[in-house]
Amino acid sequence: MEDTLMFIEFYRKVNFCQGVLTMILRSMAFFALAGMAGQGWCAEMESLRAQGLPDAGSILAQIQAQQPHFPQPHFPSAPQTTLDMCVFTEFKNNKCHFKCESGATLIEPAVRPDFSSGEPAGACATHIFRPVPSPFAQFNKHIDSSDLRDLLRDPNPEVRKAAVKASRNYIQNSYAQDPVRDMLGNRNERLDIRVEAARVLSHAAGYSRVRDELTEAIRYGNEPRELRVMAYKALWSVAGSHSSVQDFLTDAVKYSEKDREARRAAIWALFSAVGNSRPQETLTDLLKYGNEEEETRIEAIKSLYNAMGHYRVRDLMMDMVKNSNERKPVRLAAIKALSGANGDSRVKSLLEDIMERSSDTDLRLAAIGAASPDPADIRDYFHLPYKLENGGFVSPLDRE
């Protein structure tokens, strides 16, 4: 019995219970005892094995718990942007017009109605938000009001001119607007500085005193041509929203302005107002009935580009393109204007006919360009304003 227990203890240490039962327990008297001991030992080993070998789930949990925690990178939050709420006011010429809290007027293209929700959402949103416009929003501004006032009065004319250009960022404020307006009206100031003042004041033409100063530079015809041309063009920014400015410009085109370049500048400024009937009619009549110079006709075509959604403007451009007696540069301008209506089936057919059948290479190339226009080229040719990705605004006067 003692020998048997010694053997069992030995084989418990070498972890081999089945060999013990086969090699040692030969007699029937000891079989039951050895079997009982063997069962107890094997069960104990299974229990130890179960305790020592965790299942796959617990192993995975341990691995995940032991994974190193790397510090998360810190991303700076986006700078706070002031938003301007703009409320829908009217739908005109396939464009959505919005009036913003800042006083600005925003015009956005219409969108296709969305029927996915069961009912159309409409071509225009009821309201939109936009960043408050800043021409150079990505740059910090470092000229304070007192420094700017001093620079605008500097005895060096080149410094004054640079200060006028820099004042664009501050022209909504009286400390910049008042001295720049005074420079515009000052006949003792150098002419190129006065011209630059008129350009900058176009960004503040919503103020009545600025409009008065611009029209004063035009009205009596006794200022230099360069200044009068820029003053006319500076009124573009309010021509679409102020009926008095529309009347002033259309009267200049039809009656009062005798200088050819200044008159073309008035036509240029009307491009932002051709959604209204009187400016549109003034320019279409000029093309239909006026015995105008080639440059004047081309300028009228350019200013009518924003009215290509109107059938009578579209039909007029098509008639001019088809008219072989029309001067070629005018026909080329009219073809380019048709890019604003190339979704119309009749316009598309006309452009295809020119591309395939015209014997004039210039007309064919113009038709190809109108059928597949380049946005940057259209903006430059038709002197259109546009917005930058950062919310900034590029005026057509910046390219004049």
The span from the CA of 182 to the CA of 197, in Å, is 9
- Domain residues for 95? 83-107+127-132
Q: Which residues pair with 109 in a beta bridge?
A: 95
Give CA–CA dist 82/86, Å, rounded: 13
DSSP line for 275-307: TSHHHHHHHHHHHHH----HHHHHHHHHHTGGG
Same domain as 342, residue 280: yes
The helix, strand and coil proportions of the chain, stated in percent and rounded to the nearest 5, come to 60, 10, 30
Distance CA 242, CA 249 (A): 11
Q: What do you get for the CA distance between the two ends of the chain, in Å?
A: 117
Give a yes or no: residue 151 inside a domain: no
Residue type at position 15 = N
Q: Are residues 352 and 396 in the same domain?
A: yes
Domain assignment present for 202 = no
Is the pTM of the predicted complex or chain greater than 0.75?
Answer: no
How far, in Å, CA of 54 to CA of 65, rounded?
A: 15
Residues 350 and 303 occupy one common structural domain: yes
Q: At residue 142, what are phi and psi to the nearest 5 degrees?
A: -120, 5
Same structural domain for residues 38 and 98?
A: no
pLDDT for res 72: 38
Which residue, chain included where needed, has tokens 């720049």? 180
Residue 312 in domain: yes
- The CATH number given to whatever domain includes residue 345 is 1.25.40
Structure tokens belonging to residue 231: 């003053």
Distances (CA, A) of 226 to 126, 194, 262, 396: 43, 10, 8, 17
What is the model's pLDDT at position 36?
47
Sheet holding 105-109, edge to edge: 105-109, 95-100, 83-92, 127-131
381 & 279 share domain: yes
Domain assignment present for 294: yes
Whether residues 23 and 92 share a domain: the answer is no
Cα separation, 230 vs 228, whole angstroms = 5
- Here the contacts of 100-104 (C-beta below 8 Å, separation 24 or greater) are 100/130, 102/132, 102/133, 103/206, 104/133
**DSSP labels, 218-254:** HHTS-S-HHHHHHHHHHTHHHHTT-HHHHHHHHHIII
| Three-state SS letters, 139-199 | CCCCCCHHHHHHHHCCCCHHHHHHHHHHHHHHCCCHHHHHHHHHHHHCCCCCHHHHHHHHH
How far is Cα 105 from Cα 83, in angstroms, rounded to an integer?
Answer: 15
Q: Do 21 and 88 reside in the same domain of the chain? A: no
37, 103: one domain = no
Segment 285-293 long-range contacts (CB within 8 Å, at least 24 positions apart): 286/253, 287/316, 287/320, 288/316, 293/260
Q: DSSP label at 271?
A: G
Q: Are residues 25 and 100 in the same domain?
A: no
| pLDDT confidence of residue 33 | 42
- Asked if the structure places residue 152 within a domain, the reply is no
- Co-location of 2 and 90 in the same domain: no
Q: pLDDT tens digits, the chain, 400 residues: what are they?
A: 455 445 445 545 544 445 544 554 454 444 444 444 444 444 444 444 444 444 444 544 554 444 444 333 333 333 444 566 677 777 777 777 777 766 677 777 766 544 443 433 456 676 666 665 544 444 455 788 889 999 999 999 999 999 999 999 899 999 999 999 999 999 999 999 999 999 999 999 999 999 999 999 999 889 999 999 999 999 999 999 999 999 999 999 999 999 999 999 999 999 999 999 999 999 999 999 978 999 999 999 999 999 999 999 999 999 999 999 999 999 999 999 999 998 899 999 999 999 999 999 999 999 999 999 999 999 999 999 988 766 678 899 988 8
Please report whether residue 67 resides in a domain: no
Please state the domain count of the chain.
3
Give me the residues paired with residue 106 across strands: 98
Query: Do 378 and 318 sit in the same domain of this protein?
Result: yes
Is 358 part of any domain? yes
- As a whole number of angstroms, the distance between CA 379 and CA 56 comes to 66
Q: Is 279 within a domain?
A: yes
Is the Cβ–Cβ distance between 306 and 275 less than 8 Å? yes
- Cβ–Cβ under 8 Å, residues 248 and 256: no
Same domain, 4 and 103: no
Spatial separation of the C-alpha atoms in residues 397 and 295, rounded to whole Å: 19
